[in-house]
A and B are shown apart, each in its own frame.
Chain A
Amino acid sequence: MKKSEKIAGSVANYVDERTGAAKWLKKNLTKVFPDHWSFMLGEICLYSFIILLLSGTFLTFWFDPSQREVVYNGSYAPLSNLTMSASYASTLHISFDVRGGLLMRQIHHWAALIFMAGIIAHLLRVFFTGAFRKPREFNWLIGVGLVTLGIVEGFLGYSLPDDLLSGTGIRIAEAILQAIPVVGSYLAFFAFGGAFPGHVFIPRIYTVHVLLLPGIFLALITVHLMLVWYQKHTQYPGPGRTEKNVVGYPLMPVYMAKAGGFFFIVFGVTAFLGAVASINPIWLYGPYTPGQISAGSQPDFYMGWLDGLVRMAPPIETHAFGHTISWNILIPGLIIPGILFTGMALYPFIESWITGDKTEHHLLDRPRNVPNRTALGAMSLAFMLIILINGGNDIIATHFHLTINQIMWFTRIGVIVIPPIVFVITKRLCLSLQRADRELVLHGKETGRLVMLPHGEFVEIHQELTPAQKFILTQHEQPEPLAIPDTDAGGVRNPAGIKGKIRSRMSKANAEQVSAPSETEAKAIDGGHH
């Protein structure tokens, strides 16, 4: 059987990490990587980043990051002789007067979107399978850093061409900056070198976009991958796969060949999109002028949720000590995103605090076996999706014949009501899936074949699972709730205080499980039934 070969091969391939530096090269080239489609999401991010570096470098040859006013006399007639910033004019120049320029711009922008979508998909995979658990918390933090910086990098790139839509976006960013109490207006003044829009902002964000952030990205991605290397890749549970080995293919040549091939596939898909689908047609938007605004001004999707939050905030302001605090911008623009991203960063630590689990994990969870975490993830996704919908409320309104107000109120209420509902439903769903697993292990698969017994009774034939299938369905750990005593030895109530109480409540909710059948249970049924 292939499987047994694989196991044998993996055992042979398994090389202890601490065998010494002399074997380093050999060891690394035969390093084993497990194989699963969801492990390629990270690769999508890496490859689209490389595409961004290449296409971005191409763009720098012609892009002029300056807010100096110029008169356009390039080949796009509907804008000829208009006064505009040099950065807008040079983006037009790249689009219409540089060979392959428009294709490169579109590849750069599509790659940026694929990069962000890939990061989010990758993050979700890591979250739902529990890959962030010890010893990989640090890599989770790097990942959260990469998403955050990706959003910033994308926003800055989007702002560079200085067109009507992106200018509107910068204007909103400035408003968010200004909403920070006390220091806000100074910060905005500093960032724009005076009043909005000023003349220094584009040159400044250009340096950040092409130099500072890409540098930080390279550093973070390198550390990220080195950590994957040293900690080895996680794997999905299966026969022969333990917390102590990695089953898969050696880096050379199998994995390298596959990875190299996949790079060209990512490049191909990006180039295909760049060639056939228009993206950010800045010539239609027109140059940015503070006096203009367009209906349906939107940021890219990775900023869209933030825009949706800002749009749904009710207008609340307070006036104190001669300052106005605009809660309607401060809360959606800074406070909620701050809470979301901090919570996301700290999640591995919060979870291990709740479960009390301090052991290392190299086998991934099947999401259904960790109902609480899965439900929390689904709930957060629901939250993001709802605010994202509100970010596109005007477009949705015109295309689905709804009113902006309907969508606004639906999302305002929905953002509070729907996530908890999603939590409960997802948790129930996980538990029923566990129950179904248990049934499968105990009674086998239904085959649909009916058999008449000698005394006339009909029974359906159930086909027993293979040992490998059984193993997958029963291998998971089943956490016990933490035992936090209500009273200590001296009879004093609640020694751990409120914190302890919360912890024990959460740990109890977390441990809710349908118990996987034990070996004896399975045996008992086997003996009795057939």
Chain B
Amino acid sequence: MNFGFKKVASYRRHRFAAPALIVVALISLGTTFSMASALTGGPHMVGAEQTTLVQEGKEIFARGCSSCHGINAEGGNIAPALVGVGAAAVDFQVGTGRMPMADMSQQAMRKRPVYNAEQTAALAAYVASLAPGPAAVNDAQLTFERDGNTAQGGELFRTNCAMCHNFAGQGGALSQGKYAPTLMGVEPKHIYEAMITGPQSMPVFSDKVITPAEKLSIIKWIKAAESEPNLGGASLGRVGPVTEGLLVWTLGLGILIGIAVWLAMKAR
């Protein structure tokens, strides 16, 4: 269906206009992030330290990734080039265990990561050294607890993410066997990196579409959804009316018919 996004967008602008202080804070936060993502390496790296890291990454890459992505990450028949995808993409893909890919017949799945944090950072530094791209973020940079707004994040989530990930971030099916995974239990930095790199069938949400501050709000909302108690009783999976229908035919009508049979038997 072809829904317009105008209404929400204008409303968002309106809410932002209110307290001038917040606007200033957001803008400064936003520029910090866009500057950070314009840098190719990690934001804290300098000089020789950086070169050894890149070298180390190149070695790991040659062993673990080049069979698919090519020896210089130039891409091959089965996997895309990684030139310009940036450290964020590597940190996300390797940090969530998606890479190195195990089963090429399916969409890359979240697994236990093969590489530890240092190795991942080295791989990221190497890929980032090939061409500029979005930088990786770390959890300390993501001050969503302080700067995020849960309600606004929910609104953004429903506008931008719910169509694939379901209203409660439980995940959903896409066409051709692809699926958007559940977002419960995903680390904040990986949520952030997913948005700026757009893994596989997920679109990239550039800072123009969703500002860095808004991204923090989205993360805050996802974390709130994750820890939200089931207010109405057993949640039935938070997937909407399908499980409710199953329950009413099995437990609901099942019990009632059982009792009816029992009552009719008792009469004899």
Contact = CB atoms under 8 A, between A and B. Distances in A.
Contacts, number: 223
A294 B167 contact: yes
Interface string B209-236: 0000000000001001100101111111
Contact of B251 (A83, A273, A278, A295): A273
Given A286-B167, A297-B240, A398 B173 contact: yes
A364 to B, nearest CB: 15
Interface range on chain A (Cβ under 8 Å from partner)? 35 or more
B62 interface: no
Main secondary structure of the interface of A (DSSP, over half): helix
Contact of A300 (B150, B154, B241, B255): B241
A278 B235 contact: yes
A292 B159 contact: yes
Interface string A32-44: 0001111011001
Interface range on chain B (Cβ under 8 Å from partner)? 35 or more
B106 to A, nearest CB: 9
Contacts of A292: 3, 8, 158-159, 162-163
B179 interface: yes
Contacts of B232: 95, 102, 106, 277-279, 281
A273 to B, nearest CB: 6
Interface in A243-263: 249, 254, 258, 261-262
A294 B176 contact: no
A284 B238 contact: yes
Interface in A46-89: 77-83
Nearest to B155: A82
Contacts of A422: none
Nearest to B178: A403
A99 to B, nearest CB: 15
Given A78-B224, A117-B249, A278-B233, A295 B165 contact: yes
Nearest to B243: A395
A261 B262 CA distance: 13
Nearest to B221: A78
A299 B241 contact: yes
Contact of B248 (A80, A110, A295, A298): A110
A404 B231 contact: no
B241 A304 contact: yes
B40 interface: no
B57 interface: no
Contact of B154 (A165, A273, A286): A286
A397 B231 contact: no
A102 B155 CA distance: 23
7 contacts: A37-B263, A165-B240, A265-B259, A278-B236, A284-B168, A286-B162, A295-B180
> 3 smallest A-B Cβ distances: which pairs?
A295-B172, A301-B245, A403-B177
